[in-house]
Amino acid sequence: MEIHPLTPDRWDDLEALFGPRGAYGGCWCMWNRLSNREFEATSSDEKREMLRTIVDDRVPGLLAYVAGTPVGWVSVGPRAEFGRVQRSRVTKPVDEVPVWSIVCFVIDRKHRGSGVGSALLEAAVEFARDRGAAAIEGYPVEPRRDRMPDIYAWMGLASMFEAAGFTEIARRSETRPLFRKMLR
């Protein structure tokens, strides 16, 4: 597996992974970047163009490849880029530490359960560290049962963050712990 930053020259690979609908219900990884009102008022095509504009400006995440084919995505960046995370009663800041956030995973169906998500998580940590982040957080789900539908795991699973050395720092919802890893 290879993991690379999403740069403009890799845009077609992201489109191939996300498919014509834009990953989860036409989201184009804009759910955490927009308010609910903005998200609902914006078409899937508009969301795609919004993400493309971000990609033209900076790296908003990483792509995983197997044999040259894009099989996974993780969205990672400074917490300030994700207004919904900032405002949510479940994911709002715990303290004043300037953190980066991991807010979305998209894994190709044929590659789920094969370690792509964990590899992307580790790469996101290194990506943030290399850019000077003091800490990185994730807001995964912790299923009430052993298995849950994949569609609900787009923010990752708590067990994945625990295995990567993250520590639970808050829990404002039964199934949504906040995990953090200090980077310096």
One digit per residue, the tens of pLDDT, for the chain of length 184 reads 999 999 999 999 999 999 988 988 889 999 999 999 999 999 999 999 999 999 999 999 999 999 999 999 999 999 999 999 999 999 999 999 999 999 999 999 898 888 999 999 999 999 999 999 999 999 998 877 666 555 666 788 899 999 999 999 999 998 899 999 999 8
Angle (CA) 149-154-157 rounded to 5° is 80
Q: Taking a C-beta distance cutoff of 8 angstroms, is the pair 155, 104 a contact?
A: yes
pLDDT computed for residue 57 by the predictor: 97
pLDDT of residue 149: 56
Which class for 144: exposed (0-12), middle (13-18), buried (19 or more C-beta within 10 A)?
A: exposed
Q: How far apart are the first and last CA of the chain?
A: 27
Q: What is the pLDDT of residue 104?
A: 93
Q: Which residue range forms the structural domain that includes residue 56? A: 2-182
Residue 141 CB burial class (10 angstroms; 0-12, 13-18, ≥19): middle
Closest CA to 178 of 159, 158, 153: 158
User: What residue type is 63 in one-letter code?
Assistant: L
For 146, the 3-state DSSP assignment is coil
- pLDDT value for 143: 75
CATH number at residue 176: 3.40.630.30
pLDDT score of 87 = 94
**Token output for 172:** 């404002």
Structure-token match 């995983």, residue found:
64
Number of domain units in the chain: 1
pLDDT value at residue 146: 66
The b/e string for 28-44 (b: 16+ C-beta within 10 A; e otherwise) is bbbbbbbeeeebeebeb
Q: Which residues of 62-94 are buried (b: 16+ CB within 10 A; e: fewer)?
A: bbbbeeeebbbbbbbbebebbebbeeeeebeee
